[in-house]
């Protein structure tokens, strides 16, 4: 059940008109609007005037939270403006194995503060209240992710006692070209080629492999993860000599996606509703004019019999152009099946690397066949898997941790490189 409380949080805000409280269903539209006003996805050169993207929620703002049994959503409202929502934060709680013991932990995400209200302590107050709410629900540790270049957020959380837990990197693959699984598995015997694994077997494998690894879920948690409608399958390979590898596929943009706000100084709405359709219409007119000339020339040179062939070719070309334009417009307006995730990597034995590369190729191919545009995998930069897949050393994301159980943050060790990454909050 969602977290609730019978009092309104005042927080440590300088302005007495700003109050922190549990979110209500009526706050949904306002929380979504904060994604645009507080967007971090923008070009740094012109401070977002050239390019700016925001996260777009396809359903309820708290849909990601609702994947968990226990969760918290807090908002900050300005009572002097009729209760306008100017800040929001979300936390999900789960049973996990961390720092050598089975504990309850949480993931903090979607901290957003309206641009006109920043530097007033709202982000700090929301974070403090989210920590208090999580501690009241029995959480011992909290974790969050920040971009390595986001110095403002890193400074904020560092001042609040959050400490680095992991350097995360992305294995990123665009899905424009066909993936050749055979090439990735060329060094393997045919019996070791990747094959789909039954869901129950995949769930057992992940639960067993991550049973005592940092952030590994309990059996109930893995059951929830693998029974989700966003789980798309697991591919597994083993060589019969003690080595194996497995990787699962997850629909990574079912709840949120990147929505263009501004493109080349112009609002994205102008591109989606005016500029691209106008360009498409101009292209169609150009094709029609060129087609008329070709048709006349063909009829003159080869006789009337050639005209239907030319006409059919022009119709096909126009249809292809219209389809391409429609897809571009649809992407600009927002799509719900853009990003896939590769999750829960399992590998062991002396020959796991070529097995994992073949399994990864099979998962990438499946994502492409399902119509996704990109596939990503989030792993620790020090995990041997990063080097095996060619991304060693790149760490654009910092994973932070905070103790809620009285243990000093200075004593918290970093997470092990083979820690589990739960895709549901991110």
| Segment of 156-165, 172-181, 252-261, 325-334 carrying the highest mean pLDDT | 156-165
Q: Cα 11 from chain centroid? A: 30
Strand partners, 246: 236, 346
Confidence class for position 3, pLDDT limits 50, 70, 90: very low
Cα separation, 80 vs 215, in Å, equals 42
- Residue 309's pLDDT band (boundaries 50, 70, 90)? low
The pair of three-digit structure tokens given for residue 387, joined into one six-digit string: 């080097």
Classify residue 371: in a domain, yes or no.
yes
Same-domain pairing of 207 and 231: yes
Structure tokens belonging to residue 153:
């957020």
Are 42 and 178 found together in one domain? Answer: no
Q: Are residues 109 and 120 in the same domain?
A: yes
Overall domain count for the chain: 3
Does residue 101 belong to any structural domain of this protein?
Answer: yes
**Residues 160-182: what's their mean pLDDT?**
87
* 75-129 pLDDT per residue, tens: 999 999 999 999 999 999 999 999 999 999 999 999 999 988 988 999 999 999 9
Phi and psi torsions of 352, nearest 5°: -70, -30
Q: Minimal CA–CA distance to 116: which of 94, 85, 147, 143?
A: 85
The first and second tokens of residue 64, run together, are 């990601």
**Assigned domain for 125 exists:** yes
pLDDT tens-digit map of 345-383: 999 999 999 999 999 999 999 999 999 989 999 999 999
Report field, pTM of the whole predicted structure over 0.85: no
Residue 266 lies in a domain: yes
Residue 188 sits in the same domain as residue 217: yes
CA distances from 318 to 38, 307, 309, 326 (A): 41, 16, 14, 12
Q: Is the Cβ–Cβ distance between 390 and 187 less than 8 Å?
A: no
- With cut-offs at 50, 70 and 90, classify the pLDDT of residue 27: very high
Residue 313 and residue 188 share a domain:
no
d(CA 101, CA 103): 6
Whether residue 306 lies inside any domain: the answer is yes
User: How much is the pLDDT for 333?
Assistant: 45
More confident residue, 125 or 317: 125
177 pLDDT more than 60: yes
| Overall average pLDDT of the 53-57 stretch | 76
Report residue 137 as tokens.
Answer: 């629900």
Inform me whether the pLDDT recorded for 417 exceeds 80.
yes
Structural domain of residue 72, as residue ranges?
Answer: 18-139
> Is there a domain that residue 158 lies in?
no
What pLDDT shows up at residue 51?
64
Instruction: Look up the CATH number of the domain holding residue 373.
Output: 3.40.630
Task: Return the bridge partners of 327, or none.
Answer: none
In a domain, 147, yes or no: no
Q: Are 405 and 274 contained in the same domain?
A: no
Boundary of a domain, candidates 97, 119, 139: 139
Is 301 found in the same domain as 243?
no
């Amino acid at each position: 059940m969602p977290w609730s409380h019978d009092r309104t949080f005042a927080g440590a805000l300088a302005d007495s008109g700003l109050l922190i409280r549990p979110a209500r269903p009526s706050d949904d539209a306002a929380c979504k609007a904060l994604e645009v006003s507080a967007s971090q996805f923008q070009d740094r050169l012109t401070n977002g005037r050239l390019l700016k993207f925001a996260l777009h929620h396809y359903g309820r703002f708290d849909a990601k939270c609702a994947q968990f049994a226990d969760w918290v959503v807090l908002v900050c409202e300005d009572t002097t403006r009729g209760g306008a929502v100017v800040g929001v934060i979300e936390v999900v709680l789960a049973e996990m194995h961390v720092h050598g013991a089975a504990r309850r932990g949480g993931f903090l995400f979607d901290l957003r503060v309206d641009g006109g209200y920043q530097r007033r302590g709202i982000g700090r107050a929301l974070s403090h209240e989210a920590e208090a709410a999580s501690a009241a629900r029995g959480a011992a540790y909290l974790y969050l992710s920040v971009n390595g270049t986001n110095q403002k957020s890193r400074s904020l959380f560092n001042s609040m006692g959050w400490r680095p837990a992991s350097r995360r990197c992305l294995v990123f693959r665009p899905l424009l070209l066909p993936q050749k699984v055979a090439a990735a598995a060329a060094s393997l015997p045919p019996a070791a080629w990747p094959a789909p694994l039954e869901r129950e077997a995949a769930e057992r494998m992940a639960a067993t492999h991550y049973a005592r690894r940092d952030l590994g879920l309990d059996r109930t948690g893995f059951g929830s993860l693998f029974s989700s409608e966003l789980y798309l399958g697991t591919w597994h390979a083993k060589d019969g000599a003690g080595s194996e590898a497995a990787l699962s596929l997850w629909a990574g943009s079912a709840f949120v996606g990147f929505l263009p706000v501004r493109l080349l100084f112009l609002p994205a709405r102008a591109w989606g509703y005016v500029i691209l359709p106008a360009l498409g219409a101009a292209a169609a007119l150009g094709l029609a004019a060129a087609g008329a000339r070709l048709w006349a020339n063909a009829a003159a040179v080869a006789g009337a019999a050639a005209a239907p062939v030319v006409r059919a070719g022009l119709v096909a070309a126009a249809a292809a152009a219209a389809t391409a334009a429609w897809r571009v417009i649809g992407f600009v307006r927002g799509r719900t099946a853009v990003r896939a995730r590769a999750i829960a990597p399992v590998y062991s034995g002396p020959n796991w690397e070529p097995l994992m590369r073949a399994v990864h190729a099979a998962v990438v191919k499946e994502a492409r066949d399902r119509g996704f545009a990109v596939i990503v995998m989030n792993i620790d930069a020090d995990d041997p898997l990063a080097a095996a897949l060619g991304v060693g050393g790149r760490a654009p994301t910092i994973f932070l941790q905070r103790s809620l159980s009285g243990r000093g943050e200075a004593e918290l060790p970093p997470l092990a490189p083979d820690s589990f990454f739960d895709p549901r909050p991110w």
